[in-house]
Amino acid sequence: MTVNPSLDRTVEVDRLERGAVLRTSSPVLEPGGKGVNLSRALARNGVASIAVLPVAGAEGAELSTLLEAAGVVTRLVPVSGRTRSNLTVAEPDGTVTKLNEPGSSLSTADFSLLSAMLASLVTVRDWVVFSGSIPPDCSGDQLVGLMKTVTDLGASLAVDTSGDALTASITARPRLIKPNRAELAEAVGRELDSISEVIVAAEELRGRGVERVLVSLGADGAVLVSERGAIVGESTVRLQRSTVGAGDCFLAGFLSKFSIDESAEDAALVEALAWGAAAVSLPGTSVPGPGDIAYTNVQLVWQPDLDRPLVAT
C-alpha cells in the first residue's frame, strides 16, 4: 500500500549549482512512491505482488500507464486532488538531490475506498507493506485504521515509513518495520553512533510490540533484530549512481525470501543486501532485475565490531 504515490522525473547534470541555468540529460520518468518501487522490484524479479495506491488527475493516469508498462499488477483507487510529481537531480559522483512534492490530502471518503480495496484483496496468508510518506493532513488514526484493516484479516503487516507515521504505526503491531538509521534514531529520540546502539534501539521498538526490526545502514550494511537475536550484514558497491529507491529494493529482496520461509532470516538478509546494492548502482529510481543482482559482494558478519563508529549520513 502506497498512500502517497508519485511520478518521479530524474535528470543528470555535470554539477548542481544553486542559482545557475543548467543543461540536463534527457529526463527519465518512472512511477514512484516507496511501495510502488517495492512492487516494481518484485515484478522485475518474477515475484508476485499487487500495488494498491490512490491516483488522481493527469499525473495519476500517467502513473497508471507506467506501472502497466513495467508489468506491475495494480489496484488503483480513484481519489480527489492530484497525484504528486517529484524531481531527482543526479550528479556523476553519485550525489542526488530530490525535490519532493507533499501530495494532495485524502478525504474521509478516500480512506474508506482504500480500506474497502484492502479488505477485498487481503487474505490471512499475505504480507502487506505500508510504505512511504503520508499525504498532508493524514492523521495517525487514519493510517492505523488502514493498517488494522490488514491485521484484522490475519495478514502480516510490514511498515517502511518515518517520523510520526512510524510512531503511530507501531500501535498496529506490525510484524516487521524497516527504518534506516536516521528514522530509527528519531523513533527512539537519540543519536545512534554504532552497531551496538542500533541493536539496543531496535530492541526498544520490539519492546513496544514490533516483532522484527530490519535496519538499513547505507555504507555500513544492515542489521536484523528479532527474537532470535541480531544479524549484521554488509555489502560493497563498486559504482554508486543513485540511492533513490535502494531501501525499497532492499525490503523487496528481504520479503521475497522471508515471506516464503520465515526460518531463513540469514538468507533473507543476504537477499535484501544484494537487491539494495544493485539498486544503488543503477540510475534514478531504476530497480534491479536478475542480471543486476550479485551476491559475491554481500556477506553476513558473525563477529562484528559492535562499537565501531558508523559512517556519517
Residue 248 among the catalytic residues: yes
Angle between helices 265-280 and 246-258 (to 10 degrees): 150
Q: Report all structural domains of the chain as residue ranges with CATH numbers, in order of start.
A: 6-18+25-300 (3.40.1190.20)
Per-residue pLDDT tens listing for the chain (313 residues): 999 999 989 899 999 999 999 999 999 888 999 999 999 999 999 999 999 999 999 999 999 999 999 899 999 999 989 999 999 898 988 788 999 999 999 999 999 999 999 999 999 999 999 999 999 999 999 999 999 999 999 999 999 999 999 999 999 999 999 999 999 999 999 999 999 999 999 999 999 999 999 999 998 999 999 999 999 999 988 788 878 889 999 999 999 999 999 999 999 999 999 999 999 998 877 899 999 999 999 999 999 999 989 986 5
pTM over 0.85: yes
Torsion angle, CA of 270/276/278/283, rounded to 10 degrees? Answer: 180
Spatial contact of 95 and 126, defined as CB atoms under 8 Å apart: no
Candidates 248, 261, 266, 307; catalytic one: 248
Burial of 95 (0-12, 13-18, 19+ CB in 10 A): middle
Instruction: Specify which residues 130 forms β-bridges with.
Output: 159
